[in-house]
Amino acid sequence: MEEEPVPPPGVDVEAGPSNDDSVLDQPRPSGDDDEEDFDDPFDIAHTKHAPHHSLRRWREAALVLNATRRFRYTLDLQSLEAREKRSKLIRAHALVIRAALLFKLAGEQSIVGDEEPSPSPSNEFGIGVDQLSSLTKDNNSSALQNYGGVAGLSKMLNTHLDKGITADDDELSKRRSTFGSNTYPVKKGKTFWRFLWDAWQDLTLIILVIAAVASLALGIKTEGIKEGWYDGGSISFAVLLVIFVTATSDYRQSLQFQNLNEQKRNIHVEVIRGGRREKISIYEIVVGDVIPLSIGDQVPADGILINSHSLAIDESSMTGESKIVQKDPKKPFLLSGCKVADGTGTMLVTGVGLNTEWGLLMASISEDNGEETPLQVRLNGIATFIGMVGLTVALAVLVILLSRYFTGNTKNSDGSIQFEKGKTSISKTVNGVIKIVTDAVTIVVVAVPEGLPLAVTLTLAYSMKKMMADKALVRRLSACETMGSATTICSDKTGTLTLNQMTVVEAYVGRKKISPPEDRSQLQNEVSSLLDEGVALNTSGSVFVSKDGKSIEVSGSPTEKAILQWGVKSGMKFDDVKSECTLLHVSPFNSTKKRGGVALQRTDSQVHIHWKGAAEMVLGSCTRYLTSDGSLQPIDNEVGFFKDAIEDMAAKSLRCVAIAYKKCEMDKVPKDEEQMAEWVLPEDDLVLIAIVGIKDPCRPGVKDAVKLCSDAGVKVRMVTGDNIQTAKAIALECGILASDADASEPHIIEGKQFRELSEEERENVAPKIAVMGRSSPTDKLLLVQTLRKLGEVVAVTGDGTNDAPALHEADIGLAMGIQGTEVAKESSDIIILDDNFASVVKKFIQFQLTVNVAALVINVVAAISSGDVPLNTVQLLWVNLIMDTLGALALATEPPTDHLMHRSPVGRKESLVTNIMWRNVIIQAIYQILILLVFQFHGESILNLKDDGTGHANKVKNTLIFNGFVFCQIFNEFNARKPDEMNVFTGVLKNHLFVGIVGATFVLQIIIVEFLGKFTSTVKLDWDLWPLAALGKLIPVPKTPLAKVFSKPYRRLIASRDSRSNSLKHE
């Protein structure tokens, strides 16, 4: 195996990435049935990385109803596969074109010979767009040499290699107009008309439209245009309304996803302009910019390497080959879209936007807005089952109504028989059959819960919008729902539990404690000078001082910034120190050794090697220490003192960093570039200069958050690269460890200890671990894999590239956005964490199931008993609209409450429809069915309605049933808000959208009954009947809490049984 280069100093000093190959190529958790599990799309454990054929499988499992409306929110597998094929083709074409160009250039050069390229006359720069593009695309080293290398190229582009370009607007706009901007056209999403067309494709709606047209024609023929168009017209209008609302909803979600995709693409990168480092959007980069690169970054544009230290690039996104490519002066070409796998460097931008292969590739691939989540897979299974039940009921109703109709058992409202053999005209017979068919088809429309995928999409969009407001960006939609199942969180310390605002608060030089730490008055000049060297030159950060010297900006990782700020406050002149020394070689930070070093040559020709890193690690390599007066003393007798000092600082939650150096003889320094690049800096026989303690305060409220997680049954574990004592102190401060009594093995363990355990021992220890200190990326990954193997649903937080393997392996990866590297973000699912998800979908399922059960039972019973259905086509389509679109919108935007945090995680395999939900659905549905059937059979006598021969009494009764059914659904929405809480009205007024939708539904129902009776087959109700309809249906609201009270003892029994089984499992 080739040795992989070590990571750079751009990573946090205490917990950087590993140079261990096994970290990046770790296998998934092993197991006998792993392959089978991975291919099962119903297993939430593995759908995160599921292949296309596995996602296809469930769709082929059974008859799928209403496919067009049902799957409009789910992943279009065909277009996804086509897109990937297109991407590969484009990449292949690009390689063929490049090969042809190189062949052509080689031929031209052999004829003409190497000539000095002529500057482009078309702009005021010394080179044109085409010449720059061909440099990187063709890896044309000879042309680069002819331009005078990167130095000559920078002169042509009016760029200073150290300070970059000037940042004034005129200069930037001039470069954009000459060389283009770093953007590429993104294909537009579907238009509203396309969504209308898609919604129109639903087979059940097409059948209804055909029936409506036939009804319209027959109605006009038999009753004339004035009266005959009502039935057909009202069905047509209702269907068009459903199509319009569906298309509008889909279109809005499409726009939301486009905005979120734009957010995902808008990466922020660091550039050097006017000598200072600043963060800008990737879209603002121009040709001539100087960009620092460090491990985990995405190369934001095409360019040429200026300088590098062990820089390795992953070019797989462009070439398709997973081989890591080393970059140096001989291979200086960098391609946009590739990732920095290792090392650090700076680059000169030579191509942006469509002048790069990445830009052309991105412009040719439209962004896919859909992503299939495990929940949607399960929901479609539920929807198909409910749809099958609905289809069965509809067929039963159709058969019953037709048989009653043709046997003369169906009567009109005035008592006359609808069909008499040999007497009823053909047109009347056809019209009667059409009415029966439309009623049956409408049952299918209502029964098939196409609102389920809509609820998912609305909830995701709402959750993502809310999370964006809290600076959280969801990269993988499934993470929102899986988060509700999380049983453990493996959290990084820095920036997650702490503020990532580090300051040096303690410092030791020799045995002397410097107080305040910035006071160097007690240090001899040579000691101060060596300290400045170690701080200013062995760093990946930088210090920018304004021309007037009044403002100072420090950039770099939080630890680097803290040490640089300490140096500046102590009087260090950063630029002066750098100018007095020549950097010979850099040994980037290594997360296994937990230190990084540099070799430098001073003006007096002395070569110094400086090391900086985890205090106890560096201390172990020291044989002497430097006193404050500049004398060298053997360290043997003082090791105990320094270890005590480190432990004392660690106990105060301080991160301890040591700075050491050694002199190097000139004859041991490599002479040529190749030897220098492979030089392994000596790290023995070091002289300790200083030990500093860095304070990183705990985030406000982190203790409450940890307690909330604990109450919710989610165990928080801290996995950090820090000293075990520092980790323990922070864990006690954050509440991860309850007391000092818990601060012992196996609750606290070092990464190395855990790594060296056997697999069986790891499985026994892992559930008990609360804190893992001095952990490498391998240890973090091992812990995640072990916990997942034990059935835990694992969330991992992290920010560095070293966290990428664990983020990728976890069920939910949560990357920290501000300090996080692009590689960490790409491996994650959510950038920062906020919401709970599954609860919202469960509310909607409960609401929808109740409506379905009630509507189906009422129509079947009425059809069997009277040959007529009380809820006709238009009425059911209106209920369908309330139930699917408006209901989904109202419940999907219902914010989660703190009550959720007192409930155990739902578990990986738990059914979507829980026992509590079935209880609520059955109680609600039985109540609705009973009350409405009482009105169906005894409504006329209860309301004291007299039959006057016109059928008015029957119409009043049916109107009251329709009214009551709609009010039941309105009040049922309140119950569905809080499926397992007593007070269903808690916080209702805070959700303005919910109140607005419920209010609008109420008002529209009054308008439909009172003013649109001819369309909906209803009659105006006396005002004394309205309170009866409303109050009778209010009973579900207090009734449900009663059911919750009676079911509590049973739930406690189940909970105690589960907790006992869990504790036995872990013992």
- Report the catalytic residues: 492
Alpha helices in 486-595 (DSSP H): 525-536, 558-569, 574-579
Q: What is the CA radius of gyration of the chain?
A: 36
First and final C-alpha spacing in the chain? 40
Which residues, including other chains, have CB under 8 Å from residue 1023's CB and lie 6 or more apart?
Answer: none
Range 379-405 burial, b when 16+ CB lie within 10 A, else e: bbbbbbebbbebbebbebbbebbbebb
Residue 768 belongs to what H/E stretch?
none
Between CA 554 and CA 558, with CA 557 as vertex, the angle to 5 degrees is: 80
| Residue 325 DSSP SS3 | strand
Distance, in Å, from the CA atom of 1028 to the CA atom of 985, rounded to the nearest integer, reads 22
Residue 968 to residues 444, 915, 920, 998, Cα–Cα distance (Å): 21, 22, 14, 12
Nearest Cα to Cα of residue 1006 among 989, 1018, 994, 988: 1018
What tokens appear for 688 in the block?
Answer: 């300790």
Note whether 486 and 795 are within 8 A (CB): yes
What tokens appear for 684 in the block?
Answer: 């023995």
Amino acid making up residue 354: L
What tokens appear for 278 in the block?
Answer: 């600043």
Nearest Cα to Cα of residue 584 among 662, 679, 661: 679
Residue with tokens 């089978």: 36
Residue with tokens 């305060």: 697
Distance, in Å, from the CA atom of 198 to the CA atom of 247, rounded to the nearest integer, reads 8
Residue with tokens 């004291």: 944
Distance, in Å, from the CA atom of 1067 to the CA atom of 1062, rounded to the nearest integer, reads 9
| Residue 485 DSSP SS3 | helix
Residue 491 belongs to what H/E stretch?
strand 488-491
Distance, in Å, from the CA atom of 12 to the CA atom of 33, rounded to the nearest integer, reads 39
What 994-1001 contacts at long range (C-beta under 8 Å, 24+ apart), as own/partner pairs, is: 994/890, 994/891, 994/893, 994/894, 997/886, 997/889, 997/890, 998/890, 998/970, 998/973, 998/974, 1000/886, 1001/882, 1001/886, 1001/966, 1001/970
